[in-house]
Chains A and B, each alone.
Chain A
């Protein structure tokens, strides 16, 4: 339902959307119900000729029930929300499925840079592909990301993946995602990081295996060039 409004393209996006929907439905139900009761009470006990106002202390059992029963029911709803939230948090942030590929994501004032493993599939080798503004991924591959910052706090926030993670200078933060649909999507730094924060944007490009291989072939540094770059 939510993905109809906001495109989604990662394996855990439906879990996050499900959680948000669960919270929206439970909280929305109580919101509508309490507003209805509220207005009904206002109408039902409105000022009438010849009727004196009465001060209610709310200490009688019949009155307290208006609080205790909804309170207990809301607590029951909370249990559903907490259990759902912990499950999704564990799935998205705490457990790390085996990586098929690892990419490095680097924030700086004011651009995102990326290191992709080249054809050899490993980082920190001569065929790594370094880009600015563009993260190239292959559909249906489980990625780990290593998130770092070159200067201040930034936040990697990729709405289509339903992923948000702060980047902290001096730390390498590891996480994961698995793109499930091809396409091109924008994303944008989500932690105020200076004058250029508002235009610190980049784009994720999710490709089929063939497209990804073609991109890699086109951009992987040839060994001689790579050697020159290292020099």
Chain B
């Protein structure tokens, strides 16, 4: 008989990934309706600090799983260890945060266990005996409520920012080592040290004004339209990922989860749809202006000022007006 909710805690070099606390909040929300007890599990070596940090939350237990084969994250190591842990603990739900690491192993784990996995959720609610997850499709343009008809454990991962980490209820959980047999687990991945690309030439984090351009610009030849606006404003130019993927602007001007995170006084988004991976990099800007021809574009969800229209008409007019205003 399965019961309880197990939260996967992610750590890197002994430091807690804060999105794991958001996963705890999601689990506590489910538990508030179902009455399930929430526990957490941490894998690795030298994870005592992470375990005690997590144990300060309202949890039944914090399980630690230490083994030499888990020193460095590998998908084989994590799948091998978690598969045994989950079989042993037999929870009703396993909750994770939708990080790059989780994306790298969890679908293997759920397949090995023959279970269903609802990825990249933004909310969850309990409806009678069912749990309904909300996830976005078409890059945030449409929401869906997803119902699961599978045997437990049901796996779900939550998008970063779905729940506020500081809302995790506090408590004092017991830390309990969990023994698994890793002798049969073959690690196929050889890892090299993590690194960052050469220091960014442009530091957009210091720019007070940013004009960001997205795929709406259509071609590299049209970039001067937006550059002129940036020049008139005295702003730095930045871009969404596809613009940098196409090498229309250098990589170090990319804003988002795989680029820079900025919080300028003004962020003017031109022809950017507002996918979550972009939004995480700029949502803390003081004033956000969006110009987009699609009134339903998700960028308008976070914009202070919205202009629905063709950027090729609006941007030149705006450039002129700014020049006038600045005299």
Do these two chains interact? no
